[in-house]
Copies of this chain bind each other. A is one copy, B any other.
Amino acid sequence: MKVHDHQLQVPGLRMTKQRKEVYRALMENQDHPSASELFDQMQDTESPMSLATVYNCLEAFVEHGAVKQVNIDREPSRYCQNSTPHAHFHEQETGTIHDINFKPGTSLSDILDLPEGTEISNLEITLKGKLPQ
């Protein structure tokens, strides 16, 4: 998979104009938009599309590891443009979601009592609270 200037290329994933548009909006969005927020944005583009298509596009990106689906509590899923490993901080006052990076050279097993030989295929860390300032 190559990512360059908001152009996504994944072998086996057709880059239709709808997918290009959804991907672009996601990349330009610093926040973590929901499907319906993206759907609203799509209505102002040259390829307005159905909500089903927005969901389909996002699902394709998530399946190919280009986008992360972020589930916090039972709220509508949000989608994350940052495909590198990171945690999510949900600021309570504003409702915004911030990416938090891992410290280099650290691992979850530094703080978790995991049995030896555990294979982790997926990892989600979500914090809620207040960031300084």
Q: Which residues of the other chain, B, contact A128 by a CB distance below 8 angstroms?
A: 120-123
**A residues whose Cβ falls under 8 Å from a Cβ of B:** 69, 71, 73-74, 77, 87, 89, 92, 100-103, 106-108, 110-132
Q: How far is the CA of A124 from the CA of B90 in the complex (A)?
A: 11
**A107: nearest chain-B partner, CB-CB:** B111
22 A-B contact pairs sorted by A residue (CB < 8 Å): A71-B71, A71-B74, A89-B118, A100-B114, A102-B112, A103-B111, A106-B110, A108-B111, A108-B127, A110-B110, A110-B111, A111-B111, A115-B132, A116-B132, A117-B132, A118-B130, A120-B127, A120-B128, A121-B128, A121-B130, A123-B126, A125-B126
